[in-house]
Amino acid sequence: MSEWTGQADTASAARPQRSPWRAMARGFACRCPQCGKGRMFTGYLTVVDRCEACGEDLSHQRADDAPPYFTIVAVGHIIVPLILIVETAFHLSNFTHLAIWLPLTLILTLALLRPIKGAVVGLQWALYMHGFDPDHREDAEAPWQPDIG
């Protein structure tokens, strides 16, 4: 149903359903969310403009701050319980804790950031968010916003 007209949106009803879980799993594997064959990244975090295998346009992705946020949450949920378990069992010095947990946190963060970004892009693709919606125009009229300045 269209937010502005109150009528059913026939274009969105005709779109094929995309599995968010499959798209996120393919993205987590750093593969194209559509075909699962083409690479999603050209560099560490640079998403390709177009899939080399199926030609899907991925340039519309807007992952922005979501991947670092989800990475911090995931790494925190892994590291904090480990710190508590080790401290309870062994009573290590503060220096030893720093020597163990700082590098481990850095390694986990760098290892998970790219797959999590891939999963976020896959979810955006599956839900037709941002430019992945073929019926949405970037230059379409935006809702009115007050002039602050």
Q: What is the DSSP letter of 38?
A: S
pTM reported for the whole predicted model = 0.80
- pLDDT bin (cut points 50, 70, 90) of residue 5 is very low
- pLDDT bin (cut points 50, 70, 90) of residue 147 is low
List, for residues 124-133, the tens digit of each pLDDT value: 999 998 778 7
Nearest Cα to Cα of residue 109 among 52, 59, 55, 44:
44
Across residues 59-73, what is the average pLDDT?
93
Q: Which residue has the higher pLDDT, 112 or 147?
A: 112
Number of H helices, E strands in the chain: 4, 0
Look at residue 43 in the predicted model and tell me its pLDDT: 92
Q: Is 149 exposed, middle or buried (0-12, 13-18, 19+ CB in 10 A)?
A: exposed
Look at residue 6 in the predicted model and tell me its pLDDT: 47
- Residues 122 and 23: their CA atoms lie apart, in Å, by 5
